[in-house]
Amino acid sequence: MRFHLQVTKQSRIFGELFAGTGQREISDGCAHVDGMTLRKIILACCVVMVSVGFDCSASKPQGNTTRSMPESAPQIPTLNQPIPPSHCRVIGTIVSVDSTQLHPQGTDPCSQAPCEAGVRVDSIVGYGSAFPQPFAGGQIVRVRFTCTLGPTGRIFPAMNPALPGLSAGDQFRADIVGTPAPGAANESMFTVESYEKR
């Protein structure tokens, strides 16, 4: 209906532009249009095309504005792969899960599944260069899991391969990323991007 009304309106404008303007002479079956009328024809065509195009684009539904989710988990490094800088490869166990950020109506992934946990460092496979704070065996550190501790098939359905999720008592192997904590001297933040459940 909007398209029909828009075209009708432009047709009326088109007609007004040509009312009483210019002269046409017919000879040998061909129409000759004077310069002024030709310019008005071109102008009217431009007005109609721009108006119809604008009306069609305005009627398009808005795109999906929800936050994009990761489609693939970072590759889990094997034991014999080099350890990247600022990483520590460990075998660890989840000893506690922080559920304080959970919120049923939240849209953030960390409101749908826990993202932080206390991790006991069971064994240290090795360090990459510039890891900020060496671990001790048996040490418990607070770690943030970027893909949450929940099964990714529920929170990130497009992620492939999916991660199974971790809970208290589960052991896993992962590279922990260490970065200096902002505004805190001699303190570090630890993050796990992907893991292998054992």
* Residues 43, 134 within the same domain: no
pLDDT at 63 over 60: no
Residue 76 CB neighbours (<10 A): 17
* Residues 54, 6 within the same domain: yes
Each residue's pLDDT tens digit, 138-193: 999 999 999 999 999 988 888 888 899 999 999 999 999 999 888 777 789 999 99
Query: Is 47 part of a structural domain of the chain?
Result: yes
* Residues 108, 180 within the same domain: yes
Model confidence, pTM? 0.62
Each residue's pLDDT tens digit, 108-146: 899 999 999 999 999 999 999 999 989 999 999 999 999
Query: Is 78 part of a structural domain of the chain?
Result: no
Q: What is the DSSP letter of 108?
A: S
* Residues 117, 190 within the same domain: yes
Pairing of strands 171-180, 87-98: antiparallel
What CATH number did the domain enclosing 127 receive? 2.40.50
Query: Is 137 part of a structural domain of the chain?
Result: yes
* Residues 93, 51 within the same domain: no
Query: Is 69 part of a structural domain of the chain?
Result: no
Tally of domains within the chain: 2
Question: What pLDDT, on the 0 to 100 scale, is given for residue 62?
Answer: 44
Reported as type and span, the H/E element at residue 187 is none
C-alpha distances (whole Å) from 56 to each of 43, 101, 153 are 20, 44, 38
Token pair listed for 98: 């922080």
Q: In which domain, by residue range, is 8 found?
A: 2-58
Task: Tell me which of 172 and 51 has the higher pLDDT.
Answer: 172
Residue 123 CB neighbours (<10 A): 12
